[in-house]
Amino acid sequence: MQTRKQKRYPLHTANSDSMTIHRWWIRMVEQLGFIVLAKGKGHTLKVAAYKKSFQNLIKTIEAVRKEYTEPDRKRDLDIIHKKATYLYEFVKNTI
C-alpha cells in the first residue's frame, strides 16, 4: 500500500515569526550530527538537502528581519542570523 507524503509548505515571510525561525534553527543544529554521519556513509543527497535548508533559513531570516519594527525581535533575529551564517560557513567548508 502506498501512502501519501504530507507536504510541508515552505516558510515564507507571511507565515513566519521569530519563534518559528528559532525552532527551525534549533532543528538545524540538532541535525548537524546526523548529517556528519550521513556524509561518512556517502549519502550526498541528504547533505545537499541539509545545505539547501540552511540557505533557506538564512534567506528567511533576512527577509523577516526587514519586516519587524520591534528592536528586541530584530536583535534576536540578528543573533540567530549570525549563528546561522557562521555554522553554514562551517558546514559548507567541511562537509
Question: And the C-alpha cell for 86?
Answer: 557562521
The Cα 91–Cα 34 span in angstroms is 13
Q: What is the mean pLDDT of residues 2-29?
A: 73
Residue 31 has what pLDDT? 94
pLDDT digits (tens, 9 = 90+) for 20-45: 899 999 999 999 999 999 999 999 99
Q: What is the pTM of this model?
A: 0.81
Question: And the C-alpha cell for 5?
Answer: 507524503
Of the chain, the percentage scoring pLDDT greater than 90 comes to: 65
The structural domains of the chain, ordered by start, are: 18-94 (1.20.58)
Mean pLDDT computed over every residue of the chain: 86
Q: What is the mean pLDDT of residues 63-77?
A: 89
CA atoms within 13 A on the CB side of 45: 0
The Cα 22–Cα 4 span in angstroms is 29
Q: What is the mean pLDDT of residues 55-59?
A: 93
Query: For the chain, what is the total number of helices (H) and then of strands (E)?
Result: 3, 0
